[in-house]
Structure 1
Amino acid sequence: MGPSPQSLFSLSLTIFSLISLSSSSDTTDLVFKGCADQNFQDSNGASKQSLKALLDTLTSQSSAVKFYKSSSGDGGSSASAIDGLFQCRGDLSNSACENCVQKIPGMAQKLCGQAIAARVQLSGCYLRYEVSGFRQVSGTELLFKVCGSNRVSGTGFGDRLDLALGEITKGVVNGGYYAGAYQSVYVLGQCEGDLSGGDCVSCVKSAIDKAKSECGSSISAQIYLQECYITYTYYPNGVASNQQPHSPSVDYSREEEYTKDGGSCAGRASWRGAGNGLFVVHKISFQEKASCLQIWWIVEYGWRDGN
């Protein structure tokens, strides 16, 4: 018996950071996008029709709910059946959620073209879709991170941060979303809408561990896993009156750790084992105003450069 069509799909995803370096907390700012390196191949256009129907369904639901999952197309044909979902940040109003989600289909078309799988993450919502049978990475896989360039010196910050991040694990048990503060550390966490309370807590704990290991003593961090994300920002001099817990800022002014190569932000690659197979880990850095953002994406079998 030959391999199924979906097993032939390369799982490579290209991920590029298009983060705005301004202080804007606009919920429609693009955070990152991931695009499969295979395009729809059916000549009759059934997949495109299925994708359009799916996106229409998702956007139509965004005025009523903050999480929705659906499928479109012939369930018996992997070439045209497409699954997808959207989720809005827990503090958004229905109208803000709708405005955020409705931005994504057009952006996905421009950013990913006819890719068979895509994820577009905005600051206030995200949407993803994939052909039926497309293999996903683990729910706790690190997709994207930003570590604030400023570091906190002195004693006590680690304990303070631990306690603040611990509030997320308590807060997400019921409802999957938490935003709050502890001693000038503002934190936020959210899980994908259909995760159970226990799975949500486990995902958030993984994100917290990654924040500590990847960002160390950074004054702020954003950690996106496949099924949850967390952010934190520490304000050592107090909080500005216009700063809200749900829009943590990240200082991009300098990132010495990533600019020791003289400012070059070229992509780097390495290999590591994962599960029963070999995966490529690409570390891509982008520079703007002497700032490099470190991005990690797990890629299987290949890599596609993009614009």
Structure 2
Amino acid sequence: MGCLRQISLPSYILIINFVALTFAQPDVALYKNCTTSGTFNNDSTYGSNLKSLQFSLSSNIDESGFYHSSRGQDADTVNAVVLCRGDVELEICRSCVNEAIRNLTQDCANQREAIIFYDKCMLRYSDQSIFGIMAWGPGFEKWNIYENVSDNDWNTFTVTRRSLLLSLRDRASSGDSRLKYSTGEEQVPNYNTMYTLVQCTPDLSLGDCKSCLDACMQLIPTCCNRSIGGAVYKPTCNLRYELGTGPFYNQTVPYAVPPPPPPPPSLSGIEIFLIVASIVIFVILTVSISIYLRKRKQRNQHHKIEKNLSVHEAVDGIDSVESLQYDFATIRVATDNFSAANKLGEGGFGPVYKGRLPNGQEVAVKRLSKGSGQGEQEFKNEMSLLAQLQHRNLVKLLGFCLEGEERLLIYELLTNGSLDQILFDTINGQNLDWDGRYKIIRGVAKGLLYLHEDSRLRIIHRDLKPSNVLLSKEMDPKISDFGMAKLFLQDETQGNTMRIAGTLGYMAPEVFQGNISVKSDVYSFGVLVLEIVSGHKIHNNFENGNNTENLLSYAWRIWREGEASNLIQPTMKTSSSSIPEIMRCIHIGLLCVQENVANRPPMASVVLMLHSMSLPLPEPLRPAFFQHSSVETNMEMPLLEASNYSVNEASITELHGR
């Protein structure tokens, strides 16, 4: 017997609690997610495209149980993916998909993105590209809560389960473009047969299918470790196992992966000579063309280009955002000629002004300081990234200006300013209750998860801190300032850099060796969480006998001493009902700042920890300690200059500060 994990995300809708891991009701949705990435009007082009696409989905599915399609162009494009379980008959598959469409039309009306899972099918649609792209969320897990494997049989059980899942993973990932699916059985001593199923959407590559299933297997210890039955579902893959209940799938697959073709007949000597000669000629031609193109490019680089670059020349890869360009005169009028009265503050590479566009919309305008070559590159980076990112917890780019020496970014105006202005203010900080702080923590976590795993790009922010978290009128957090962000390919999670970038105190220790990864952002998030809980800055002093500690070392010490509640800001201790949540956030924060990169949880796990109080947390290990500095300092410097810098120094005059 089993149940679905309860995850109380606002946009996650869990449909039913299971009393058995087997499914007696085929038409009951297991889980659905009506995401908050945006909405559409019923009479909009996007809405018409979605209806047209939904109408065609069921009839276009064939025996393989997989289908994907698109409708529309540009911002009105709708992409959809349908996947039925590999053993399901065609008519049952189509019936399941029709029910999924009906369900999403009713419960996720006007949402630009949604996903729903049934026992026999999954339907997903989005205004973002989703074909051939591995996605780790949103998803869910379920497991049998009534029966666990005994201690005596534990080792044998886990070895059998892992061996079976790995072999099925390899078989499924080797499938063709119509089906990546595999099942298997294995006898477990002292128990009955274990039945196991794994599946990927067949648009994934062999490597992505393996990686997706590996991610599912990594979640088993946190959800289903000792359970005799468990399952993990992701948008692009899933796995399930059951012990002693009999097969939960049809052992005859309606559509089988075709066998590999027979080996070609052996070639004669003449044929081999002709093939080799053709290859040699092709290689010579390819090398010659490459040399010619390289020389032509070098010649072209010697020509002068116009001082005022066009959008295509100034910013690589942002052809799609030309419509967001404003002329400088419009922005100058909107900000009253960048008057001091409209100045909101000083950003990383220039001042930020409040403005009002001709249509009456209030905006924030970031003006790049003139003569800052480094800042110009960050400006281009930020613009090209933000133009492609859409999430409720990321600041929204409304437009930009590239005119002469002027470089401007136009954002939505967030009336409550940045988190640091409230959190560390004597009066405002006292008024920020735990509900508001918890909302900010969870919102920032979702924003980072989107950057790391759920967006079309994989992005490491590299400068997460309170001043780069902006707050809306409703106190919803939005991550801002992508000037130092690093872009990765979808299947990359880490890399090396020749430039150290970030803010002291929020930078993970591995960054100083030129190594960056999504776990670098996880570290910064952990520091942020501890600051939000305590109301103290990372560089604040804490007395410990004759010594002083920074926030990390202080939090770690009192955690080990069993006095972690002393870290909580006194104004939040008045509500005893909030203490368990606050203590859990301290625990999560310490997990995120562990010195060893491998020990830090990914943001997908962090989001799950924040929304499931019943999920057990591992004990945190020693965090990375940094001596405090009296001044928060942003920096970006070549890695070769790192030898001039000591993390134990209070001043950093050797660095390129901003």
Specify whether residues 43 and 223 from structure 1 end up closer, same or farther in structure 2 by C-alpha distance, changes over 3 A only: closer
Question: What is the SS of the residue equivalent to 1:152?
Answer: coil
Contact kept? 1:146, 1:293, Cα under 8 Å: no
Aligned to 2:607: 281
Contact kept? 2:79, 2:128, Cα under 8 Å: yes
What are the equivalent positions in structure 2 for 1:232-243 lying under 5 Å apart? 232-235=241-244, 239=245, 243=246
Task: Tell me, in whole angstroms, the C-alpha distance in 2 between the residues paired with 1:206 and 1:199.
Answer: 10
Aligned to 1:216: 225
Question: Which residue among 175, 181, 205 is the counterpart of 1:177?
Answer: 181
Query: Which AA in structure 1 matches 2:12?
Result: I
Aligned to 1:194: 203
What are the equivalent positions in structure 2 for 1:67-146 lying under 5 Å apart? 67-73=66-72, 75-76=73-74, 78=75, 80-132=76-128, 139-141=135-137, 143-146=139-142
Q: Which has the higher strand share?
A: 1
Contact kept? 1:144, 1:225, Cα under 8 Å: yes
Specify whether residues 83 and 145 from structure 1 end up closer, same or farther in structure 2 by C-alpha distance, changes over 3 A only: same
Shift of the alpha carbon at 1:66?
0.9
Task: Tell me, in whole angstroms, the C-alpha distance in 2 between the residues paired with 1:157 and 1:210.
Answer: 17
Aligned to 2:598: none
Contact kept? 1:20, 1:29, Cα under 8 Å: no
Contact kept? 2:40, 2:111, Cα under 8 Å: no
Aligned to 1:4: none
Task: Tell me, in whole angstroms, the C-alpha distance in 2 between the residues paired with 1:54 and 1:221.
Answer: 34
Question: What is the SS of the residue equivalent to 2:139?
Answer: strand
Task: Tell me, in whole angstroms, the C-alpha distance in 2 between the residues paired with 1:104 and 1:293.
Answer: 29
> CA offsets, 1:24-68, max 9 Å, x none?
344433110011225534574222111100101212213554111
Query: Which AA in structure 1 matches 2:167?
Result: E
Shift of the alpha carbon at 1:217?
1.3
Contact kept? 2:104, 2:114, Cα under 8 Å: yes
TM-score (norm 1): 0.70
Q: Does 1:16 align with 2:13?
A: yes
| Unmatched runs of 5 consecutive residues or more in structure 1 | 1-11, 248-266, 287-291, 295-307
Q: Which has the higher contact order (CA 8 A, sep 6+)?
A: 1
**Which of the pair has more CA radius of gyration?**
2
Task: Tell me, in whole angstroms, the C-alpha distance in 2 between the residues paired with 1:13 and 1:35.
Answer: 9
Task: Tell me, in whole angstroms, the C-alpha distance in 1 between the residues paired with 2:89 and 2:40.
Answer: 39
| Unmatched runs of 5 consecutive residues or more in structure 2 | 1-8, 188-192, 251-437, 453-459, 462-524, 526-602, 617-658
Shift of the alpha carbon at 1:180?
1.9
Shift of the alpha carbon at 1:141?
4.3
Query: Which AA in structure 2 matches 1:199?
Result: D
> CA offsets, 1:117-166, max 9 Å, x none?
000111100111111469x9962346211132132112322222222222
Task: Tell me, in whole angstroms, the C-alpha distance in 2 between the residues paired with 1:142 and 1:40.
Answer: 18
Question: What is the SS of the residue equivalent to 1:194?
Answer: coil
Q: How many residues align?
A: 250
Aligned to 2:54: 55
Specify whether residues 171 and 19 from structure 1 end up closer, same or farther in structure 2 by C-alpha distance, changes over 3 A only: farther
Contact kept? 1:17, 1:33, Cα under 8 Å: yes
Contact kept? 1:30, 1:123, Cα under 8 Å: yes
Contact kept? 1:141, 1:226, Cα under 8 Å: yes
Task: Tell me, in whole angstroms, the C-alpha distance in 2 between the residues paired with 1:97 and 1:194.
Answer: 18
Contact kept? 1:67, 1:88, Cα under 8 Å: yes
Question: What is the SS of the residue equivalent to 2:30?
Answer: strand
Contact kept? 1:179, 1:245, Cα under 8 Å: no
Specify whether residues 61 and 199 from structure 1 end up closer, same or farther in structure 2 by C-alpha distance, changes over 3 A only: same
TM-score (norm 2): 0.35
Aligned to 1:3: none
Question: What is the SS of the residue equivalent to 1:96?
Answer: helix
RMSD value, Cα: 3.3
Task: Tell me, in whole angstroms, the C-alpha distance in 1 between the residues paired with 2:80 and 2:135.
Answer: 15
Shift of the alpha carbon at 1:185?
1.2
Specify whether residues 133 and 42 from structure 1 end up closer, same or farther in structure 2 by C-alpha distance, changes over 3 A only: farther
Percent sequence identity over matched residues?
Answer: 22
Question: What is the SS of the residue equivalent to 1:30?
Answer: coil
Task: Tell me, in whole angstroms, the C-alpha distance in 2 between the residues paired with 1:285 and 1:16.
Answer: 14
